[in-house]
Chain A
Amino acid sequence: MYREKVNKGLAQMFKNGVIMDVTGPQQAKIAEDAGACAVMALERVPADIRSQGGVARMSDPALIEKIMAAVSIPVMAKIRIGHFMEARILEAVGVDFIDESEVLTPADPFGHVSKYDFKVPFVCGARDLGEALRRINEGAAMIRTKGEAGTGNIVEAVRHMRTMNRQIEALASMEEKQLLQTAQNYEVPPELVTRVRELGRLPVVNFAAGGVATPADAALMMALGADGVFVGSGIFKSENPARMAEAIVEAVINYKDPDRLAGISAGLGRAMPGLEIEGLVTNMAQRGI
C-alpha cells in the first residue's frame, strides 16, 4: 500500500514553490495563474477559522472536487489530526496530498493517522525535530513548520524552523550513546536520527507554514532553509490577492537577491492584518505532539 518513493517524490516536485490556501475554484485559478505549485482546498482560511471559532472539520468533498476540476496543479486538502476516516474520504475523492493539520480541531487525543496505511501522501506540521521525526516515522511524506496559522505573524514559523535547524546541527557532534538517547527522547528509531545526521537535514521535504504574509516573510523562511512555503490566509486576506500571490512566488525564486526582493515587495497594497501571539485564544501549534 505505502508508496514511499512516488509520494516523497511528489513533495520534491513542490520544492522552491508556494502552496496556497484557496476556498473556491475562482481563488484556485488566481493561485494557479500567480504561479502556485499546488493549492490547499478548504472552506475557511485559518484567519476565519480563528475568528469564527467552533469545530473546524474536513471541507465538503463537493467543494474540493470543484477546485480539482478548476486547476491542473496538484490539490491538497486538510483532515483533523488523527481522523483516519476523513483521510479515507479524501483518498477516495482523489486529492493529491492530505494535510493532517492542527488548523482543524483535533479528532484523536492519543495520536496521528498511521499514514503507512494509505496510498495518498501526507504532510504534517512540526515545531521541532522530534515532532518532525515522529510524523515521518508514521509515514508522512513531507513536513512543514506549524508556525501559528491565521495570524499573519511569522515569529512562530521562525521559531520552529530555527529549532529544527539547531537540533539537526546538534546531532553532528553527538556520540553514539547520545544519539541513542536522543532517538529515545524523540520516540523514534535510532536509524532515523542517524539518517538525519548523515544528511544534515530532514529526510523529506520541509516547507515553512503558519504566518507567512509578505514576500519578505517567504524569503526569510527560504533563507532559514525551508524548501518552499505554504501561504494560508496571507493571500486572500490581503488587499490585492493576485498581486500578493505572484509577489510571494517571485520572492521564493529570488530570495537571495535583495534588489529584486525590493522591487517584488513594492506597491502590493495592504498585507493581511496581523495578530500578536500573546493575545490568541487558540494556540493551534500546540495541537498534536
Chain B
Amino acid sequence: MRVGLLAVQGAFRDHLSHLEALGASYRLVVSAHDLAGCDRLIIPGGESTVMSKFLRAYNLVGPLKDRLAMGMPVWGICAGAIALASSVDGKKGLLAALDMSVERNAYGRQLASRAVRLSIPILGRTGFEAIFIRAPRITRWSRKVSVEARLEQDPVFVLQKRVMATTFHPELTSEHVFHRFFLNL
C-alpha cells in the first residue's frame, strides 16, 4: 500500500514517522502523475488558501475528484478538512467530498488554539490529546456524515464512507491510532 502525502505546503513530513512505524510506504504528491501512483491520500494541515491555490494551479482538483468518486480513502487534517468540505465560509468547497459546511478560523486566531482531551469511541480511546490550531469549525453536516468525536457540541472528527477529516492534528502527537485507522479504512 502506498500513501500519498499532498506536498504543496504544510505539515506533510510530520506523517512520515507514523507511516514508517506502521510499515506503510509513501509518496509526496504535487502532480496528477504522483497521485496516480497512490492508493490513498492524506491532505495535511497547513494554510488552506495556499493549498487550494496550488491544487488548482497544478491541475490536481479534477484527478482528485475522480479518485474520490472511485472510492479512494482520503484523510483531511485542518486545512485538509477545509479542502474536503462541500461548503466553506458559505461558498462551494473545493473537493466537496464530505457533505458538511465549515467556517475557517471560527474559534479565533492563534491565542484561541488549544490542546484538549477527547473521547473517540471508534478508536477505543478516551483522553486522546487533540491539538487544535486556528481550527476550522464544522457548522453543518448531513446524515451521510458520521460524527466520531466532538469538542463540546462541534464535530471534530467526521467520516463519510472512506473519507475522513479531523479539525485537530493527530500527526503532532506520538500516537499512531489515527494513522492505523486510516490505513484500514
Contacts and interface: CB of A to CB of B under 8 A. Distances in A.
B50 interface: yes
B45 A13 contact: yes
Given A5-B172, A17-B50, A12 B14 contact: yes
B53 interface: yes
A32 B49 contact: yes
A97 B50 CA distance: 19
Contacts of A97: 110
Contacts of A96: 109-110, 134
Interface stretch (B5-13, B65-73, B138-146, B159-167): B5-13
A254 interface: yes
Contacts of B132: 6
Contacts of A14: 46-47
Given A9-B113, A9-B172, A94-B109, A253 B45 contact: no
Contacts of A72: 49, 104-105
Contacts, number: 101
Interface in A1-58: 3, 5-7, 9-10, 12-17, 32, 35-38
A9 B131 contact: yes
B122 interface: no
B133 interface: yes
Given A6-B132, A17-B50, A74 B10 contact: no
A13 B13 CA distance: 11
A287 interface: no
A17 B49 contact: no
A133 to B, nearest CB: 21
* Interface of B (DSSP majority class): loop
Interface centre among A13, A35, A121, A249 (most CB of B within 10 A): A13
A35 B53 contact: yes
Contact of A10 (B13, B104, B110): B110
A8 to B, nearest CB: 8
Interface string A227-258: 00000000000000000000001000110000
Given A10-B133, A35-B53, A15 B11 contact: yes
A6 B115 contact: yes
B54 interface: yes
B114 interface: yes
Given A13-B10, A97-B110, A120-B110, A37 B133 contact: no
A119 interface: yes
Contacts of B11: 12-13, 15
Contacts of A5: 115, 129, 131, 172
Interface residues of B, number: 33
B173 to A, nearest CB: 9
A9 B109 contact: no
Interface string A247-281: 00100011000000000000000000000000000
A16 B10 contact: yes
Contacts of B131: 5-6, 9
Interface in B100-137: 104-105, 109-111, 113-115, 129, 131-134
27 contacts: A3-B113, A5-B131, A6-B110, A6-B113, A6-B131, A6-B132, A10-B113, A12-B11, A12-B14, A13-B134, A15-B10, A15-B12, A15-B13, A16-B9, A17-B10, A17-B50, A36-B50, A37-B10, A73-B47, A74-B110, A94-B109, A96-B109, A121-B110, A253-B7, A253-B8, A253-B9, A253-B54
Given A3-B114, A15-B11, A253-B7, 15 more contacts: A3-B115, A6-B115, A9-B131, A13-B134, A15-B9, A16-B10, A16-B12, A35-B49, A37-B50, A68-B109, A72-B105, A73-B50, A74-B109, A74-B110, A74-B134
